[in-house]
């Protein structure tokens, strides 16, 4: 690229309308910051969103963009990427948008695997509609629509993605600036659908939902950063995780356990990745929650297969000829 | 016996779903078309894929009307009823004209078949009809087996070719050559020549049976029809729709992206388009109808020609996304191949009951052009035109077809690519900065900047837009202005319609019949016949249901009465009454079946009589 762009070049003239203190601001800032580093011309970048607070995102990105309808960003992006494989397509969605009304399209996106980046802002609440429980709200969560506590069992977004054969599954958090930046860059690098769940604080309707993972006090004990080839260690290096057969266990590194005995993260191993996503399920078991790239694998992209079939058809039948198509195989002449 | 000359014949092939009825009918049609007859066909299959064998529910039918005169419908009453079993007779006997010919497979009338068809075991349904009809009984099963005595095939496979016996026999009756079907069978079973040979042997046996049998059999001649000189092919409505879309893609230079979720009777459009990938056609079988249309919208946003098709229930699911396309002002073609409703309704039957859905089935003020195809071959022009307007006016366009058009077929004098008009996408001029996505040209159309174009970066969405800039706006006056702008720009597109032309009759007179969609043939024949008998009846068939043609009001004012026949409970008629304050008379049939010419004829006669009575009074 001839001109060097900065984060500012990716901001629009529109007023950002999120509530003061909303986690969305931090994510917007990171995304605008990494954009110039991608080395992709601004006109080749497209942000597509559904409906929700988070889905306002495209209005603030000085790229091409569409703020569409509730839950459908994923299918719109699939169509766009199929029509224009050379574009860099980003999907911004929320836990309601992506996992509730748009859940069907999300899992189908994963199985098709077009090369798009999904950023799911998970705030465990419906923000835009002012505070009802969402598909990621925990059981018992008291919200406007669940005064006695939610009785719906929540989705585990990353396990859901694994179950739908997603090829890139990662987690980060709004307040974790450095980690988030790294995850955004990794998402972009992945060739295929990347799924990045971003814990996002909705300070108005669900404040502090992730305090445990992002706050100073809880973070060391509840957050586990996974890195390919590195042992699973947390609690300021004092604790680790070993695999006891098929069962993960938390161990104290002070007890003379070697780092080499620990579970070494292999992001290409689907079985272990699935176990990592499952650490979500039982907070009382004392497991930290894994952040980072849990899983990443290469699989053919939908748009490549689609274009491949077109090229193949052309190689055997030749470029389509409209006149012979209109005539078909059986004609007769009336004189 | 010298063959008798007929100007037209309606044959109804019927039998069990597994009897190869559709193939028999379509082969006879192809041969008739090659011979030069004008024709119209209509398949009528059961809703169940594998309904119980031998039952009335499992009867499959194929209706063919062919002649030496112009043919516009698959016929009213049937002249020749081919029945492979008792159930087929039971289901279709009412359609046979008095004194009509029944060709029956006698082995399909044994005790078992009688019982399956719901007759008494001792019933003799064929014999009971001998006084009123002409009956030819052949033991097709036995004759087929005999002609394959030497074949290496098993009994099951041999029996499967019995439809060819009937076809061969009919070819003899109508003096047709076996050539086309022989060639077809050779190609179809190229990989299993023994099956091709068996079928051809049975086809010939059927023909020779006619020649050699002792019985005195009827033979007929139906001469070629006077058709406009030119080169023809046979085409079904769904095929024509698909080809119209491919042609529009080629003429506009935009790649066709087709998003769809299977549904009867629209699926064949997907099947047809999937064959034409070498035209750059991308077909996307979505997870549901919402994904199908939204993917098409995504493709259109990317500069492609986005298209989606479904039937009523699927169009209902697409409603919200159609509204989005209205807001985004992007080209999009939505095809509704209507079927009987509401809900799942009559999935394999035809109806025109989704006109209101097309006109009003969205939240907010969301007008879009609604066009309709009138016949199988016309679906080509209709699809092409829908795409042209969508692209040149940056709007979603709804194209209505129906089960009857979709599955029916007729000869088509296809155009050359050179005869098709050019389609001009509304490209953005990005040398003018800043690019304003909702700035309009003199026709009210915004320009289309697509991702990848430098300096065209912009954001659009479903929230209300500010005039010109397209930025989100909650301003009260802006909203009102935008609602009016969106409505006017669609209204304005009617200025470019071609002039209204009568299908039949004069520009003024007593009765004006206004039809739309697949009732075309029946209405045309009825109006033509009445004109010939000296009545001042004119037939107008509307392609453009919204916006209506600017001349329509004047045309209506030149007639004493307006009759609107429809396969619904009265939809266009309400629209016309509302718009022109005319006391239009509805004529409705809601039986899942196409309209017949004699039904329209009778309805029109009633109106004519009422005029005469009023004038006398
Ligand atoms: C078809 C439809 N149904 C319902 C809504 C109302 N609605 C808008 S956003 C939303 C939920 C948003 O939640 P989430 O995706 O978590 O986004 P957040 O606002 O929390 O960022 C709902 C139910 C809508 N816009 N469209
Ligand atoms: S409601 Fe919550 S998610 Fe929405 S903008 Fe406000 S703080 Fe953010």
Residue A268 within any structural domain of the chain: no
Give pTM, 2 decimals: 0.93
Q: Are residues B545 and B455 in the same domain?
A: no
Query: Are B608 and B462 in the same domain?
Result: no
A293 within domain boundaries: no
Angle between helices B140-147 and B193-212 (to 10 degrees): 120
Same domain, B472 and B588: no
> Does B142 lie in the same domain as B34?
yes
User: Is residue B435 assigned to a domain?
Assistant: no
The closest CB to that of B255, out of A44, A83, A332, belongs to: A83
User: Are B222 and B7 contacting, i.e. CB atoms less than 8 angstroms apart?
Assistant: yes
Distance CA B105, CA B86 (A): 9
Domain harbouring B332, CATH code: 3.40.50.970
Q: Three-state SS string across B204-259, please? A: HHHHHHHHHCCCCCCCEECCCCCCCCEEEEEEEHHHHHHHHHHHHHHHHCCCEEEE
> Does ligand 1 have an atom closer than 6 angstroms to the CB of A157?
no
* Residue of A97, A109, A17 lying closest to A50 (CA atoms): A97
Angle of helix A24-34 relative to helix A177-189, nearest 10 degrees?
50
User: Does B70 share its domain with B98?
Assistant: yes
Number of domains in chain A: 1
CATH number, domain of A101, equals: 3.40.50.970
> What is the number of residues in chain A?
335
Whether residue B426 lies inside any domain: the answer is: no
A250 part of a folded domain = no
pLDDT at B1 (0 to 100)? 62
Number of folded domains in chain B?
4
> Is the same domain home to B364 and B266?
yes
Instruction: Specify whether the backbone of A280 is left (phi greater than 0), alpha (psi in -120 to 50) or beta.
Output: alpha
For residue B608, give how far its alpha carbon lies from the nearest alpha carbon of chain A (Å). 38
**B455 and B540 both lie in a single domain:** no
Q: Which residue numbers in chain B have pLDDT < 50?
A: none
On whether both B167 and B265 belong to a single domain, the answer is no
CATH number of domain containing B45: 3.40.920.10
Residue to mutate (ligand 1; options A70, A74, A99; most atoms within 8 A of CB): A70
Nearest CA in chain B to A319: B278
- B195 and B244: one domain? no
Is residue A164 in a domain?
A: yes
Atom number, ligand 2, closest to the C-alpha of residue A54: 3
Q: Which residues contact A34 (CB under 8 A, 6 or more apart)?
A: A181, A184, A185, A188
Pocket of ligand 2 (CB under 6 A): A 18-19, 22, 24, 53, 123, 127, 202-205
In a domain, A73, yes or no: yes
Q: Find the A135 Cα to ligand 1 centroid distance in Å.
A: 12
Give the residue on B whose Cα is nearest the Cα of A330.
B233
Range of the domain at A94: 7-215
Integer-rounded Cα Rg, in Å, for chain B is 27
Mode of pairing for the β-strands spanning A223-226 and A289-296? parallel
Q: Which residues contact B38 (CB under 8 A, 6 or more apart)?
A: B66, B67, B68, B69, B70, B71, B225, B227, B411
Q: Is residue B428 part of a domain?
A: no
- pLDDT score at B157: 87
List, as own/partner pairs, every contact residues B211-217 make where C-beta atoms lie below 8 angstroms and the sequence separation is at least 24, other chains included: B211/B172, B215/B136, B216/B1, B217/B1, B217/B136, B217/B173
Q: Which residues are paired to A195 by β-bridges?
A: A118, A169
Closest C-alpha residue for ligand 2 atom 8: A22
Whether residues B415 and A86 touch (CB distance < 8 A) is answered with no
Q: Which of B162, B191, B221 is the last residue of a domain?
A: B221
| A224 falls within a domain | no
The whole-number pLDDT of residue B214 equals: 67
* pLDDT at residue B379, as a whole number: 98
Residues 6+ apart with CB under 8 A from B79: B9, B10, B11, B97, B100, B101
Give, using CA atoms, the residue closest to atom 12 of ligand 1: A52
Q: What is the mean pLDDT of each run of 10 residues along chain A (335 residues)?
A: 82 95 98 97 98 98 98 98 98 98 98 98 98 97 97 97 98 97 98 98 97 93 96 95 92 87 96 91 82 98 98 97 95 86
Do B490 and B531 belong to one domain?
no
Same domain, residue pair B35 and B82: yes
Strand partners, B504: B539
In a domain, A132, yes or no: yes
Residues B30 and B172 reside in one and the same domain: yes
> For ligand 1, is residue A126 a contact (CB within 6 Å)?
yes
A101: number of Cβ within 10 Å: 18
Name A287's Cβ contacts closer than 8 Å, sequence gap at least 6: A224, A241, A248, A250, A279
> Measured from the CB, is residue A129 less than 6 Å from ligand 1?
yes
- Confirm whether A265 is domain-assigned: no
Q: Which domain holds residue B574?
A: 502-616
């Amino acid at each position: 690229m001839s001109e060097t762009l900065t984060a500012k070049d990716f901001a629009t003239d529109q007023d950002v309308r999120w509530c003061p203190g909303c986690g969305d601001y931090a994510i917007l800032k990171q995304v605008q910051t990494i954009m110039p580093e991608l080395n992709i011309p601004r006109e080749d970048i497209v942000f597509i969103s559904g409906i929700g607070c988070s889905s306002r995102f495209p209005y603030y990105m000085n790229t091409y963009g569409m703020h569409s309808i509730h839950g459908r960003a994923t299918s719109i992006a699939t169509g766009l990427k199929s029509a224009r494989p050379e574009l860099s397509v980003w999907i911004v969605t929320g836990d309601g948008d992506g996992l509730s009304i748009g859940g069907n399209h999300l899992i189908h996106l994963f199985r098709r695997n077009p090369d798009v980046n999904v950023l799911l802002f998970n705030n465990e609440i419906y923000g835009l509609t002012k505070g009802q429980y969402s598909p990621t709200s925990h059981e018992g969560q008291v919200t406007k629509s669940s005064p006695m506590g939610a009785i719906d069992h929540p989705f585990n977004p990353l396990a859901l993605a694994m179950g739908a054969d997603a090829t890139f599954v990662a987690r980060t958090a709004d307040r974790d600036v450095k980690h988030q930046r790294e995850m955004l860059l990794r998402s972009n690098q992945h060739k295929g659908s990347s799924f990045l769940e971003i814990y996002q604080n909705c300070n108005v309707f669900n404040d502090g939902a992730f305090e445990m993972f992002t706050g100073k006090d809880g973070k060391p004990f509840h957050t586990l950063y996974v890195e390919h080839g590195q042992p699973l260690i947390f609690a300021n290096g004092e604790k680790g995780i070993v695999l006891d057969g098929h069962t993960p266990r938390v161990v104290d590194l002070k007890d003379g356990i070697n780092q080499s005995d620990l579970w070494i993260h292999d992001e290409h191993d689907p079985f272990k990745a699935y176990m990592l996503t499952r650490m979500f399920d039982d907070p009382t078991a004392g497991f930290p929650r894994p952040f980072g790239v849990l899983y990443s694998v290469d699989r053919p992209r939908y748009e490549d297969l689609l274009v491949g079939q077109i090229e193949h058809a052309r190689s055997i039948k030749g470029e389509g000829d409209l006149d012979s198509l209109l005539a078909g195989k059986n004609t007769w002449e009336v004189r | 016996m010298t063959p008798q000359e007929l100007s037209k014949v309606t044959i109804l092939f019927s039998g069990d779903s597994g009897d190869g009825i559709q193939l028999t009918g379509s082969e006879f049609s192809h041969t008739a078309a090659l011979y030069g007859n004008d024709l119209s066909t209509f398949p009528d299959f059961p809703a169940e894929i594998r309904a119980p064998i031998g039952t009335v529910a499992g009867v499959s039918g194929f209706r063919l009307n062919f002649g030496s005169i112009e043919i516009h419908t698959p016929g009213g009453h049937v002249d020749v009823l081919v029945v492979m079993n008792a159930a087929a007779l039971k289901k279709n006997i009412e359609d046979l004209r008095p004194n009509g010919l029944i060709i029956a497979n006698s082995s399909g009338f044994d005790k078992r078949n009688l019982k399956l068809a719901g007759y008494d075991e001792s019933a003799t349904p064929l014999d009971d009809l001998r006084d009123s009809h002409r009956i030819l009984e052949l033991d097709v099963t036995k004759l087929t087996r005999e002609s394959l005595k030497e074949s290496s095939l098993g009994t099951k496979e041999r029996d499967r070719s019995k439809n060819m016996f009937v076809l061969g026999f009919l070819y003899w009756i109508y003096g047709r050559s076996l050539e086309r079907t022989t060639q077809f069978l050779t190609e179809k079973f190229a990989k299993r020549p023994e099956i091709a040979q068996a079928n051809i042997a049975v086809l010939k046996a059927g023909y020779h049976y006619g020649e050699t049998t002792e019985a005195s059999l009827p033979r007929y001649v139906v001469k070629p029809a006077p058709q406009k000189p030119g080169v023809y092919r046979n085409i079904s409505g769904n095929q024509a729709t698909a080809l119209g879309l491919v042609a529009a893609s080629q003429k506009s230079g935009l790649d066709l992206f087709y998003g769809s979720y299977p549904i009867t009777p629209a699926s064949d459009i997907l099947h047809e388009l999937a064959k034409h990938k070498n035209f750059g056609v991308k077909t996307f079988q979505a997870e549901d109808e919402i994904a199908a249309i939204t993917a098409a919208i995504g493709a259109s946003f990317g500069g492609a020609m986005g298209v989606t098709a479904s039937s009523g229930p699927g169009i209902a699911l697409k409603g919200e996304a159609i509204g989005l396309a209205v807001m985004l002002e992007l080209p999009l073609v939505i095809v509704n191949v209507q079927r009987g409703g509401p809900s799942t309704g009559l999935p394999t039957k035809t109806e025109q009951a989704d006109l209101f859905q097309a006109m009003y089935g969205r939240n907010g003020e969301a007008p879009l052009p609604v066009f309709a195809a009138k016949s199988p071959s016309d679906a080509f022009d209709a699809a092409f035109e829908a795409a042209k307007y969508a692209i040149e006016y940056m709007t979603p366009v709804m194209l209505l077809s129906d089960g009857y058009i979709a599955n029916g077929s007729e000869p088509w004098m296809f155009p050359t690519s050179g005869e098709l008009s050019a389609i001009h996408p509304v490209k953005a001029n990005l040398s003018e900065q800043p690019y304003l996505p909702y700035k309009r040209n003199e026709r009210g159309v915004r320009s289309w900047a697509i991702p990848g174009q430098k300096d065209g970066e912009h954001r659009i969405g479903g929230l209300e837009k500010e005039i010109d800039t397209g930025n989100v706006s909650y301003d009260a006056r802006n909203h009102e202005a935008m609602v009016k702008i969106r409505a006017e720009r669609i209204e304005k597109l009617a200025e470019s319609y071609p002039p209204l032309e009568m299908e039949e009759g004069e520009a003024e007179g007593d009765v004006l019949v206004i039809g739309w969609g697949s009732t075309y043939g029946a209405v045309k024949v009825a109006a033509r016949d009445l004109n010939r008998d000296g009545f001042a009846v004119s037939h107008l068939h509307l392609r453009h249901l919204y916006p209506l043609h600017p001349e329509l009001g004047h045309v209506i004012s030149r007639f004493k009465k307006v009759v609107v026949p429809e396969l619904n409970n009265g939809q266009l008629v309400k629209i016309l009454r509302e718009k022109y304050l005319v006391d239009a008379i509805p004529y409705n049939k809601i039986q899942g079946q196409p309209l017949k010419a004699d039904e329209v004829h009778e309805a029109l006669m009633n109106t004519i009589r009422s005029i005469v009575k009023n004038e006398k009074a």
